[in-house]
């Protein structure tokens, strides 16, 4: 920049020498004693430059002020960044999926809530879902009077521990839970206290709108919505999916039909009350796909408050309990004998006297004392006849067939509560004989049902599943010939039409089945007055679609059963009631019966 006169555009003034001031502008010196006076007319001065000691002091002061301002600015930037960091950390800590933080006393002071997807039955009925509920937390850094705050909270939440509460209020932590999952009234009362540092955070809570129904299938979750039991635990990863994997985030559809489930639960509850049974279990299975349409274990519990029930109610008897199933095993023995080619429908077995093998004697509960045909062995539930068949089959072949039917290994299922079958410690000829009529090998009711499906679907072993198959193909393995399955099915129909299972028959559905009554083992041997009764049924017999298994634990005789507590008097009629109710729901159309109806059941045929 230059002025029009050709002089420079700044003036230098020495303020230490006022009388001999030298000003200099763009290469020229100008006299003067002060800035105003030193500036001659005609000069266009736009800057003044001061020199001298005082001018240097002024300049040094300016520099120090600039440096201090820079320091203050840096300090404010650091503090601002730290505040932002702490704010984001608190928010992230409260987000879903955050890991639990342990307090000094080892107790979890915060765990991020887990959002779980909905569970429905095969018809879309909601069985489990999340709802948002308030939980109470404290930012201890903002609490002004910890003791007064604790007393105020205790006035509306008296269940809190005062010492622990004060410890949290004085911990200087940014976040700690005080009370999880509050009700609306509790939230309103705490809110009205207006306590500094106390706040609410909404988190998901699992609810089960059907209450007790299907409780053992669904299971339950903990306070942080993590699966503890049932399908909630078995499919925990899928149900708590974050959308990062295919299929996650979508509702999980079970194979259960809640209409069928309700019917089975009601009928089993009635049977328990009628026969004063200790417990009961029931299964309805699609014999072609293995889909479980109903799975019941009684007593049960409310998954909305599982800890209100005792361990006995939370125990799943349909999948986790194992029982010696008694005479229901005789249909497998007959199937194995025919499939292995060691017996046919024309085979006969001498049941005129007890069978003695290796120091053991096998009796019939109600001996026929005659030679029995294959059909009569099954219909009259002859232990002697079944043991004789097993001897013909042989130890290894008998065991191999039971394994192929899935009776010797833990079944695959979406529940964690699945029992390993209990096999005899040694398996020789006598074990083969006793297992042939249901003693010496303990399996779960679901395991028996899955094996029984092969008798109704042409000889295919199916894998039971609690998930709706949708477009998936069922897993099937041929383990018996179609002819064998058909022949045994005919025998089972005769058991209902002419034998011990008469009270399970339902007009129009031609039920095929087998009763089973087993004494419970105990100290000192089997207990004659403690029975496990069961009925394994398939319907309709002309082309089975579904299997029904009913089991009662320690049922008692009644006046109506003439003093008998065996399966023909309790499990069979219970299964009949189940079939009568669920067959229309399942779309099975009744047709006129092609086989004789049930005969009057004699007391001697109820084993």
Distance CA 39, CA 23 (A): 8
Identify the helix (H) or strand (E) that includes residue 76.
helix 53-93
442-443 and 292-298 strand pairing: unpaired
Distance CA 492, CA 471 (A): 33
Identify the helix (H) or strand (E) that includes residue 355.
strand 355-357
CB 193 within 8 A of CB 200: no
Helices 395-404 + 330-339 axis angle, to 10: 110
Burial of 492 (0-12, 13-18, 19+ CB in 10 A): buried
- Structure tokens of 163? 């010492």
Distance CA 430, CA 438 (A): 13
3-class SS string, 203-245: EEEEECCCCCCCHHHHCEECCCCCEEEHHHHHCHHHHCCCCCC
- Structure tokens of 228? 């503890």
Paired residues of 362 in beta bridges: 355
CB 333 within 8 A of CB 484: no
Q: Length of the chain in residues, anyone?
A: 607
Closest CA to 446 of 506, 357, 536: 536
With a CB cutoff of 8 Å and minimum separation 6, the contacts of 368 are 351, 376, 380, 382
Helices 184-193 + 146-156 axis angle, to 10: 150
481 in active site: no
- How does DSSP classify residue 561? T
With a CB cutoff of 8 Å and minimum separation 6, the contacts of 362 are 354, 355, 356, 383, 384, 387, 433, 434
371-373 and 348-350 strand pairing: antiparallel
CB 495 within 8 A of CB 593: no
Q: Which of 213, 327, 436, 444 is catalytic?
A: 327
Where does 69-197 show beta strands of DSSP type E? 101-102, 108-110, 119-120, 126-138, 176-179
Percentages helix, strand, coil for the chain (3-state, rounded to 5) are 35, 20, 45
Paired residues of 361 in beta bridges: 356
Closest CA to 318 of 450, 204, 490: 450
Q: Dihedral (C-alpha) 350, 354, 356, 359: value to the nearest 10 degrees?
A: 170
b/e code 522-543 from CB counts within 10 Å (16+ = b)? eeeeeeeeebbbbbbbbbbbee
Question: Which residues are annotated as catalytic?
Answer: 327
């Amino acid at each position: 920049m230059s002025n029009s006169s050709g002089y420079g555009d700044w003036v230098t003034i020495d303020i230490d020498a006022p009388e001999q001031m030298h000003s200099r502008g763009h290469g020229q010196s100008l006299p003067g004693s002060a800035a105003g006076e030193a500036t001659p007319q005609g000069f266009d001065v736009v800057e003044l430059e001061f020199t001298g000691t005082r001018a240097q002091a002024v300049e040094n002061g300016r520099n120090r002020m600039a440096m201090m301002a820079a320091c203050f600015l840096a300090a404010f930037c650091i503090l601002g960044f730290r505040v932002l960091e702490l704010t984001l950390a608190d928010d992230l800590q409260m987000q879903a999926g955050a890991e639990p933080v342990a307090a000094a006393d080892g107790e979890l002071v915060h765990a991020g809530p887990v959002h779980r997807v909905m569970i429905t039955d095969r018809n879309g009925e909601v069985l489990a879902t999340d709802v948002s509920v308030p939980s109470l937390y404290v930012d201890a850094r903002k609490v002004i009077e910890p003791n007064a705050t604790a007393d105020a909270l205790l006035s509306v939440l008296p269940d809190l521990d005062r010492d622990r509460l004060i410890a949290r209020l004085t911990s200087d932590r940014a976040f700690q839970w005080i009370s999880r999952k509050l009700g609306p009234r509790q939230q309103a009362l705490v809110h009205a206290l207006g306590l500094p540092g106390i706040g609410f955070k909404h988190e998901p809570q699992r609810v089960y709108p059907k209450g007790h129904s299907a409780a053992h299938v669904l299971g339950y979750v903990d306070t942080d919505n993590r699966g503890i039991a049932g399908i909630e635990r078995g499919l925990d990863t899928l149900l708590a999916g974050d959308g990062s994997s295919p299929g996650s985030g979508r509702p999980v559809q079970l194979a259960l039909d809640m209409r069928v489930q309700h019917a089975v639960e009601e009928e089993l509850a009635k049977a328990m009350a009628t026969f004063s049974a200790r417990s009961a279990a029931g299964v309805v299975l699609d014999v072609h796909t293995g889909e479980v349409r109903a799975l019941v274990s009684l007593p049960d519990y409310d998954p909305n408050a599982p800890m209100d029930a005792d361990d006995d109610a939370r125990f799943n008897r349909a999948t986790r309990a194992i029982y010696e199933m008694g005479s229901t095993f005789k249909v497998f023995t007959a199937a194995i004998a025919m499939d292995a080619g060691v017996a046919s429908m024309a085979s006969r077995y001498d049941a005129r006297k007890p069978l003695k093998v290796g120091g053991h004697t096998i009796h019939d509960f109600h001996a026929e004392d005659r030679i029995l045909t294959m059909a009569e062995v099954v219909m009259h539930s002859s232990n002697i006849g079944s043991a004789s068949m097993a001897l013909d089959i042989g130890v290894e072949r008998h065991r191999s067939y039971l394994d192929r039917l899935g009776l010797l290994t833990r079944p695959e299922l979406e529940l964690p509560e699945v029992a390993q079958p209990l096999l005899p410690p040694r398996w020789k000829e006598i074990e083969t004989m006793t297992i042939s009529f249901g003693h010496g090998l303990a399996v779960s009711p679901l395991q028996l049902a899955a094996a029984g499906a092969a008798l109704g679907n042409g000889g295919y072993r199916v894998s039971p599943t609690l998930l709706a198959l949708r477009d998936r193909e069922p897993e099937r393995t041929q383990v018996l010939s179609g002819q064998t399955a058909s022949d045994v099915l005919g025998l089972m129909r005769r058991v209902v039409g002419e034998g011990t299972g008469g009270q399970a028959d339902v007009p129009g559905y031609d039920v095929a089945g087998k009763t089973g009554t087993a004494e419970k083992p105990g100290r000192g041997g089997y207990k004659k007055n403690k029975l496990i009764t069961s009925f394994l049924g398939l319907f309709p017999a002309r082309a089975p679609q579904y299997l029904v298994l009913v089991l009662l634990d320690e049922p008692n005789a009644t006046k109506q059963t003439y003093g008998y507590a065996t399966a023909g008097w309790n499990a069979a009629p219970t299964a009949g009631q189940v079939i009568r109710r669920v067959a229309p729901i399942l779309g099975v159309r009744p047709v006129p019966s092609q086989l004789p109806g049930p005969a009057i059941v004699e007391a001697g045929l109820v084993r």
